[in-house]
Structure 1
Amino acid sequence: MAKPLSTPEQQSVRVLKVGERVRHILSELLARQEVHDDTLTATSVSVTEVRMSPDLRNAAVYVKPLLGIDEAVVLKALRTNTAYFQREVAKRLGLKSAPKLSFRGDESFDEAERIEKLLNDPKVARDLGDEEE
């Protein structure tokens, strides 16, 4: 009987490492403005997270333009240039198959801002003050 190649814990670590490498590659491509797209060269875009599927075939790439300006336009430009990004990731990653990239807007900053506003609400602050006493 064949022994499994790796445990689930090791697989998840590998998935995280590959996702982080993809994030670094995409960040480098965008920072060096290697994409020949006017929108992407004119805007500073942060790749905040890359979530890989367990089989490493798909990657959800979460991005945020600087100050969140023109997010829809930036996402459209990224999606238009997906083939270029996939080709560069494949070349630099060195895996058997390149992951299929899907670009998405990062909503975590908006969610953090919403939670911050809730915590600063006088009603919530009053309730939190009672617990500390």
Structure 2
Amino acid sequence: MSNRRAARVAERIRQDASLILLRDLRDPRLELVTITRAEISDDLRHATVYYSVLGDEAKRRTAERGLASARGLIRARISKGLGLREAPELRFQFDPSIQKAIEVSKLIDQLAAERRPSDPPQPKEPDQHSERQPDPQHSDDEPAGTT
């Protein structure tokens, strides 16, 4: 079995599972679920579908129950789209990467806000002595234009 074929099948599973959640299922437990990626075994018999959920731990558990409930329907619909003799057994796995990315983004924003000065910097007043540069062609002893 080629790795390329497995990668194509996994991507198709991800796409189909996303569309099934979006179009076919009316389960309110799955409203905030996003399919992030899919992996499939080399023999195409077992697939892991990764998902994320916006919300807290309770929403994640609710989505997990919704996906477990819809597993058979999702598998049957995916099977039709793949054209395989046997549909892969689906396993849903929570993907924390989206939540972690949101947390990192919040930390970066927080650090940026802490580093921002509360008052904008005031322009530095020019030093009166450094404004005038001596002219090497004229000395202070000679009036200008007498050379």
2:4 counterpart residue number: 13
- 1:72 deviates by 1.1
> What are the superposed Cα offsets for residues 93-129 of structure 1, whole Å, 9 maximum, x if unpaired?
11111010011110223444676759x98xxxxxxxx
2:50 counterpart residue number: 62
State the one-letter code of the partner of 2:21.
Answer: L
- Tell me the SS of whatever aligns to 1:87: helix
- Tell me the SS of whatever aligns to 1:68: coil
Cα distance in 1, alignment partners of residues 21 and 103 from structure 2: 29
- 1:71 deviates by 1.0
Cα distance in 2, alignment partners of residues 68 and 18 from structure 1: 30
Show structure 1 runs of 4+ deviating over 3 A.
Answer: 110-118
Judged with a 3 Å threshold, the aligned counterparts in structure 2 of structure 1 residues 16 and 68 are, in CA distance, closer, same or farther, namely farther
> What are the superposed Cα offsets for residues 45-101 of structure 1, whole Å, 9 maximum, x if unpaired?
210010111111011110112x23401100111011111111111111111110100
TM-score w.r.t. structure 1 length?
0.70
Cα distance in 2, alignment partners of residues 21 and 77 from structure 1: 21
Equivalence map 1:72-83=2 (5 Å): 72-83=61-72
Count of equivalent residues: 108
Cα distance in 2, alignment partners of residues 31 and 115 from structure 1: 28
Would you say 1:44 and 2:32 are equivalent positions?
yes
Unaligned 5+ residue runs, structure 2?
112-147
- 1:29 deviates by 0.8
Equivalence map 1:1-133=2 (5 Å): 11-32=2-23, 34-40=24-30, 43-65=31-53, 67-69=54-56, 70-112=59-101
TM-score w.r.t. structure 2 length?
0.64
Unaligned 5+ residue runs, structure 1?
1-5, 122-133
How well do the aligned residues superpose, as a CA RMSD in angstroms? 2.3
Judged with a 3 Å threshold, the aligned counterparts in structure 2 of structure 1 residues 90 and 109 are, in CA distance, closer, same or farther, namely same
8 A Cα contact 1:31 1:44, kept in partner: no
- Tell me the SS of whatever aligns to 1:21: helix
